[in-house]
Amino acid sequence: MLSVLFTESELRFSQVVDFRGEPYVESFGVIPFSDIIKVDNASITLTWAESLKNLHKKLGYPEKKIIAVFPAQSFSYCFQMVDAALPENEKIRFLNWQGHEILDFNNDSDTLVHQKLSRVDSSELFISVAFPTSLKDNLSTACERSEFQITELIFDIQGMGQLLQYGQLFDHENTYCLNIDKHSNHYLIKFHQNELAGVIDLKLQNNGVLRPLLYRGNQIKAESEVKYFSDVIKGVADFKDSSDRRVIFNGRNPDEDSSHAYGYDFSGIFNFRHSIEGKNLNQFASTLGALVPGILVRFE
């Protein structure tokens, strides 16, 4: 099983294999581009194709199928709630209608992509993304040229949520995951009763303070939660370093207790075929999370 995160400057990949009847992480890594290329630039097709050809050489075992992961913040997206009792076709019809009303959507150039994130009581929470049709075509062309086949397209927020749920990292009613990475895809995810409840898009300012940009979902107390995490990372050199992704979790209400914030590198969730000493696994969080449903189907 293989997943790849597509960005403007690199590919990040994770591969899980069956080793003696158990899931093991066989390969993970980064394939950098020579230049930063906007995802809506037609030349991205050639860059992706060449990088995917190089990916074949880096895998421990041959793979032909990949799960494509994209940063949600690169596109216009929203969260939507829909009645879980509705038939599937009615859900899609409602999501399409409301998504067109909410998002900056161009019927001529965008496709609405919906993915279920969680179930909250009698409703289901979806992420809806205005995904450029041209980008989807470029991705398909790049995969054909490199002899890969896309089996699924998801977004990094979904991958992060799947990873946290798989690792059973929920200690309390509310759990938080802060994502800071070098592509400026900064966001705070909140989980309520083990289900993804909302996301706050963030900006990490030069003084190390987090500033909330957009709020999506339910159960969000944006100001106090962002201030709490801003205080945690303020003055910490690691969070000003633009080279890697880092994640903090908090198992309590930030208004009540600050003693449960801690870093986590996900190494305890998976088995690894090779040494991971000195490796920063946080930058592969969304790609590892993208593989979780396949792991559950095959091994659980």
Q: DSSP for 157-223?
A: HHHHHHHHHHTT---SSEEEEEEE-TT--EEEEEEETTEEEEEEEEEE-TTS-EEEEEEEESS--HH
Q: In what order do the strands lie in the sheet with 2-6?
A: 149-155, 65-70, 2-6, 10-19, 22-32, 271-272
3-class DSSP state of 91: helix
User: In the chain, count of helices (H) and strands (E)?
Assistant: 7, 15
Cβ atoms 124, 40 nearer than 8 A = no
Residue whose pair of structure tokens reads 């279920």 in the numeric block: 116
Of 46, 47, 65, give the one whose Cα is nearest residue 56.
Answer: 65
pLDDT of residue 11: 93
For the chain, residues with pLDDT lower than 50 are: 259
pLDDT of residue 263: 60
| Global pTM value | 0.85
Q: How far, CA to CA in Å, does 263 sit from each of 165, 185, 195, 210?
A: 17, 18, 21, 17
Of 280, 241, 245, 264, give the one whose Cα is nearest residue 28.
Answer: 280
pLDDT of residue 237: 55
In this structure, what token pair is assigned to residue 5? 């995160």
Q: DSSP for 243-289?
A: TS-EEEEE-S-TTT--TTEEE--STTTSEESS--TT--GGGGHHHHH
pLDDT of residue 161: 83
Cβ atoms 17, 24 nearer than 8 A = yes
Q: How far, CA to CA in Å, does 148 sit from each of 5, 32, 33, 62, 155?
A: 14, 19, 19, 11, 19
